[in-house]
Amino acid sequence: MEYKERTYRDSFCSGNRRSFSVKFKETDLWIGVDKDSYSPFMQDEALSIIVKLRNLMDAYLMLDPDYRSALVPYYPQTPAPQIFHDMSAVCKRTDIGPMSAVAGAVAKFVALELKKKFPYREIIVENGGDIYLEVTDDIDISVFAGQSPLSNRVGLHIPASVSPVGVCTSSGTVGPSLSFGRADAVMIVCKDVLLADSYATAMANRVKTVADIEPVIDYISGRSDILGALVVKDDRMAVTGSFELRIFQ
């Protein structure tokens, strides 16, 4: 089931933050910055960044269509934009296709490009459930898990001290992204948002029933490059890592 109304973005809203959305083709970003750093020109600049990036990426994928469809680690041809090399680098560690990191890659790229013209203090860039986070205050992030009774009821407390950081969520029951599992949500936190994005997809692929939650959490617990994780399937969940679990009313 695909949920197109992204009401989970409401959880990022804060009186100390100004936000806006930008859309181009399939890319749909929510961007929030601290009020003191906000400029009314940010939205147009973000859109310009996305348009240029997507046109560059789409042009390359026409030349190398196997990159888009690869389900195992795949390396781009030499003239590929750097973003594709970055995506392939993380997928050597997650053992799935490089497009699993595309949402996180775009979120990070936009954040870093915006900083060149608008030296913000804080930024949150959310791209379809995948978040690039650079904050000075701790933040609680709830997990959207579709029809699970735990959806938006549980999440993780992310200390500002770990940012910039990636907080990414993948699902086999929500949204249009390819998944070979049936997880309602797998949230992964890594220092690198591209790695978090790819791991979230890889771990969600492994969750087909509630019986898969424990072995997936055990696997995640053994990965030093994963800082924290939350897995939701039906009315069951498990958490691991260094972050506190949050319960929302």
The pTM (predicted TM-score) of the whole model is 0.92
CA distance 126 to 135: 14
pLDDT digits (tens, 9 = 90+) for 68-125: 999 999 999 878 999 999 999 999 999 999 999 999 999 999 999 999 999 999 999 9
Q: Say if residues 158 and 191 touch (Cβ distance below 8 Å).
A: no
CA distance 200 to 194: 10
Helix (H, G, I), strand (E, B) or coil at 86: helix
Q: Say if residues 63 and 43 touch (Cβ distance below 8 Å).
A: no
- Look at residue 195 in the predicted model and tell me its pLDDT: 98
Is residue 5 very low, low, confident or very high in pLDDT (cuts 50, 70, 90)? very low
Return the closest-CA partner of residue 165 out of 204, 139, 184: 139
Angle (CA) 217-163-11 rounded to 5° is 75
Q: Mean pLDDT across the chain, nearest whole number?
A: 92
CA distance 153 to 248: 5
CA distance 228 to 149: 22
Domains observed in the chain? 9-247 (3.10.520.10)
- Look at residue 2 in the predicted model and tell me its pLDDT: 36
